[in-house]
Amino acid sequence: EVHFLESGGTLAQPGGSLRLSCAASGFILSGNGMSWVRQAPGKGLELVANSVYTGDTSYAESVKGRFTISRDESKNTLYLQMNSLRVEDTAVYYCSGHGGSSQWGQGTLVTVSS
């Protein structure tokens, strides 16, 4: 059974950095697409970063140049490096697979505030 477990969310200062992790079990990251999705309080879902099976990546305009999606296949873990954090990055961050592995984790809360 596929499971994703996010971690790394915490309180951060504007302009600061955080790295989120998504540990996968029952699933091999290599050759599979993965996404980071966030949900600000009371808002809808926003796809933040996407990594397709070819290795190509894409980002929401709101995070382009600040966030980087990557994976460590030896650890079967997906990452989201978040730099130059803004108050508007405050959200629950989820990782999710693609296609038949499109399960979701429970999310990790990132709060950006001074």
Partner 1 sequence: QAVVTQEPSLTVSPGGTVTLTCGSTTGAVTSGHYPYWIQQKPGQAPRTLIFDTSYKHSWTPARFSGSLLGGKPALTLSGAQPEDEADYYCLLSFGTTRLFGGGTKLTVL
Q: How far is the CB of 70 from partner 1 (least distance, A)?
A: 15
Among 44, 65, 74, 114, binds partner 1 (CB under 8 A): 44
* Stretch 60-99: interaction string toward partner 1, x if CB under 8 A: -x--------------------------------x-x-xx
Rg (CA), the chain: 13
C-beta of residue 63 within 8 angstroms of C-beta of residue 48:
yes
Among 37, 63, 78, 91, binds partner 1 (CB under 8 A): 37
How far is Cα 40 from Cα 91, in angstroms, rounded to an integer?
A: 4
Binding of partner 1 at residue 109 (CB under 8 A)?
no
Binding of partner 1 at residue 103 (CB under 8 A)?
yes
How far is Cα 14 from Cα 27, in angstroms, rounded to an integer?
A: 35
Binding of partner 1 at residue 47 (CB under 8 A)?
yes
| Secondary structure of 35-51 as H, E, C letters | EEEEECCCCCEEEEEEE
Amino acid at 75: K
- Applying CB under 8 A, the residues found at the interface with partner 1 are 35, 37, 44-47, 50, 52, 56-58, 61, 94, 96, 98-100, 102-107
